[in-house]
Structure 1
């Protein structure tokens, strides 16, 4: 064998292998360069796979993924909404630039080496970058969804011939704040594009005070042909209802009535204004007898010993005038034969259109007695109100609470109290007067504060009849009025 010829053959083989290796390297370099021009395999932008795609195709895929309509569900209704309608748009330039930066930052030869060994380069996902016009989204939810799919509640209405109200129906409204959060999440997810909207139940509103007045007037006209004046104040809203009915016809309210034993509420206020804290037990005992047992001698004793020996009733009148209750006064003591200390002329007793022949010794109007109770409630509840402004530092919050506690002990089981459910706290004072000339009752009153689950309120009902207030039918009417108002504040919901 010729050694030279054998060596030449080996050289050719080596050259062929080198040439083949160069060809393979060049071929792989060309392939890698093409791949390097695209986003690396495994790369995701905003959760969307864009590996192997160039910049334009990656942008198209992102627009396609995030342009899918959001499916919004409102109960059984299904609404398809394009993201652009809700003010959503992608920040493509920002995301693609971040992806490009990650692509070009990888060293060329280390990337080529990984390519030769079929190894996938580590890539970090590019987070979603987008913009959302929240005011536009809220406007869409309000104007297109809520306005179309919300169902308003229906108010209860009085049931004719009863003290009840038909149960109102609750409504449904879109919780827009919660919906914005849920839709934001869906818009920023390429996979979870369904939103179940959060809804809020809306309690049925109470009927208007006007509807309540109609019901109360129906109760009065069916039971009583004299004068009935009603004052009601919602202690949550301070809304008032005030009307008077005489012989089935509505008349102007603020008629002067004999205050009778309801005058003992102003007396108690004046006593607490002047008595020192803590209240002496002897004074507390007299207040109990005055309020709970409705005795007159304890009232006279309190006025003479705590207020002023000779003019105690006038002190009470001065306190009421200071509170702005100019129609409420006490002109003398309760005992038989007590002198009239002062003759009061008021707006109420100066009316010429209606006259209840009120006692010249003690008078009030249903509204003023109601306002006094409301002032007491505010003082007990917050420590503020009219008492704080007028009697600054003279009547404390604790004293107001004590006054209400005394009134709450007055349990009689008739009149307004008879219409309240068992266990309802009712701080009140009632009264009636038997006329000394004919021996019958012409005037009857009940005034108090009701504490109920559906809201607290002040109610006063004063009656007058020129012939006679017959107790039994009137007592039933008081209970019906009280029950109707209680039902108004504590509506049942269907």
Structure 2
């Protein structure tokens, strides 16, 4: 019996040695490599399981789109050799007989998990996201469009752009996970765009046509941030070639002010200051005449203003006589604008301009005041300072009358402008104009509008039209986001 017992024990020992040897040749039970169970597998089997687990494509969800991305597309690679070598150490780190003894007595410790070792090309991932995802699935915002019959724009739908930085993090986490292989991409909401200049022009022309105004309207707008322009003329529901000669009336006092400052030193003499205030703020004609007589030339003051305008590169704007009734016409000027035969606004031979050129005068003052440079500094070197240009704008902001362009702006909006209209020899009003620099939260811009009616221009109708055009332009620059 003793021999049988010894033989049975030896046989059992041999059997356990065989079983343990087989177990010892594979990875220990419960071993996790990179989150994947590989217990009981040999190295090749473990490598195949890891490759299968991490080779599953990651699904990207962006809006309603689902995109599959293969790991090797973005340079994701497993360090199989390094991970399996670390796992193998756990298999052989304990001596055979010591490990066998522990096995017999059931004293084996749970194996320590092996963390993921991998590499990812972030540059390739970013390139993939930009070229394959953002390029195809980003949604640009819809442009606001004019609302017919109003001075408003309808807000466009917001758009969305892929948050690439966040996507890189989320996809990297998914590529490093054997189970969580779906990523919901986040995006940034893009607010509605400002309307295009083309749509602004459409809205302005619609406003003119719907007003039923029977004469000619010419408008010039300059975005002072981008130097982009809108410039057109309209009449009878049709486009006209811009560059129409209009009676400048009191808007001519802007160039007169420039000429005065180019001839007086600093500080401005008190008498000149008083006359400038009356000329600009109250739009009185007598102070304008007195300034030209005393500062420029007693007899030819208006021609000196015209000379200055030519120095500034303006060929359609001139002053050919004083403002007082019965003043002689000093020169009869012929310009490209008043020589046209396709359209005629009956401009006053004493003073004329175009919306573009009066806008250019304001642009020159603005640039001089803002940066201390521009055309005024070049045309009058050493004669006009930045401080004097700032003073000019201050005078223009005090020209408060509450009609025309000012009537089309929200309360408190800063505007440096000069208006003008005149009752002509037939006792009727035919031309109105307003030109100014408008300062708004959405950007500063120049607006110059002149209108003419051969029959009769009713003030209320003209006032409403200029106010509506001003309001439409303001809405363009200040669309809610």
Same fold (TM over 0.5): yes
Written as runs of structure 1 = structure 2, the 5 A alignment for 1:396-411 is 396-411=385-400
> Are residues 1:461 and 2:449 paired?
yes
Moved more, 344-353 or 362-371: 344-353
- Contact 2:43 2:84 survives alignment (8 Å): no
Written as runs of structure 1 = structure 2, the 5 A alignment for 1:170-249 is 170-221=158-209, 222-249=211-238
1:6 corresponds in structure 2 to none
Written as runs of structure 1 = structure 2, the 5 A alignment for 1:15-164 is 45-48=33-36, 50=38, 53-75=41-63, 77=64, 79=66, 81-84=68-71, 87-92=73-78, 94-97=79-82, 99-100=84-85, 103=88, 113=98, 116=102, 118-119=108-109, 125=115, 127-131=117-121, 133-134=124-125, 135-142=127-134, 144=136, 146=137, 150-164=138-152
Cα 1:465/1:439, change in 2 over 3 Å? same
In the alignment, the residues of structure 2 paired with residue 186 and residue 393 of structure 1 have an alpha-carbon distance, to the nearest angstrom, of 68
1:253 corresponds in structure 2 to 242
1:417 corresponds in structure 2 to 406
In the alignment, the residues of structure 1 paired with residue 20 and residue 274 of structure 2 have an alpha-carbon distance, to the nearest angstrom, of 104
1:264 corresponds in structure 2 to 253
Cα 1:68/1:367, change in 2 over 3 Å? same
- Contact 2:302 2:322 survives alignment (8 Å): yes
1:317 corresponds in structure 2 to 306
TM-superposed CA distance for 1:87, in Å, is 1.4
In the alignment, the residues of structure 2 paired with residue 224 and residue 121 of structure 1 have an alpha-carbon distance, to the nearest angstrom, of 90
Cα 1:368/1:61, change in 2 over 3 Å? same
Instruction: Provide Cα deviations, 1:420-442, integer angstroms capped at 9, x if missing partner.
Output: 2222222210011122x322222
Moved more, 287-296 or 327-336: 327-336
Compute the TM-score of the two structures, normalised by the length of structure 2. 0.81
- Contact 2:47 2:80 survives alignment (8 Å): no
1:355 corresponds in structure 2 to 344
TM-superposed CA distance for 1:169, in Å, is 2.6
Cα 1:106/1:48, change in 2 over 3 Å? closer
Cα 1:89/1:275, change in 2 over 3 Å? same
Instruction: Provide Cα deviations, 1:34-81, integer angstroms capped at 9, x if missing partner.
Output: 667656778765454556643323322322332334343334x36252
Gaps of 5+ in 1: 1-11
TM-superposed CA distance for 1:447, in Å, is 0.9
- Contact 1:69 1:80 survives alignment (8 Å): no
In the alignment, the residues of structure 2 paired with residue 108 and residue 190 of structure 1 have an alpha-carbon distance, to the nearest angstrom, of 27
Cα 1:121/1:227, change in 2 over 3 Å? closer
In the alignment, the residues of structure 2 paired with residue 419 and residue 242 of structure 1 have an alpha-carbon distance, to the nearest angstrom, of 19
Cα 1:455/1:36, change in 2 over 3 Å? farther
The alignment partner of 2:340 has SS state of coil
1:377 corresponds in structure 2 to 366
CA RMSD of aligned residues (A): 3.9
In the alignment, the residues of structure 1 paired with residue 164 and residue 62 of structure 2 have an alpha-carbon distance, to the nearest angstrom, of 12
Cα 1:67/1:123, change in 2 over 3 Å? closer
Cα 1:137/1:415, change in 2 over 3 Å? closer
In the alignment, the residues of structure 1 paired with residue 298 and residue 477 of structure 2 have an alpha-carbon distance, to the nearest angstrom, of 44
Cα 1:195/1:315, change in 2 over 3 Å? farther
> Are residues 1:329 and 2:321 paired?
no
TM-superposed CA distance for 1:307, in Å, is 4.7
Aligned length: 470
- Contact 1:236 1:455 survives alignment (8 Å): yes
Gaps of 5+ in 2: none
In the alignment, the residues of structure 1 paired with residue 305 and residue 15 of structure 2 have an alpha-carbon distance, to the nearest angstrom, of 113
In the alignment, the residues of structure 2 paired with residue 288 and residue 51 of structure 1 have an alpha-carbon distance, to the nearest angstrom, of 95
In the alignment, the residues of structure 1 paired with residue 266 and residue 25 of structure 2 have an alpha-carbon distance, to the nearest angstrom, of 91
- Contact 1:43 1:123 survives alignment (8 Å): yes
Cα 1:285/1:65, change in 2 over 3 Å? farther
The alignment partner of 1:87 has SS state of helix
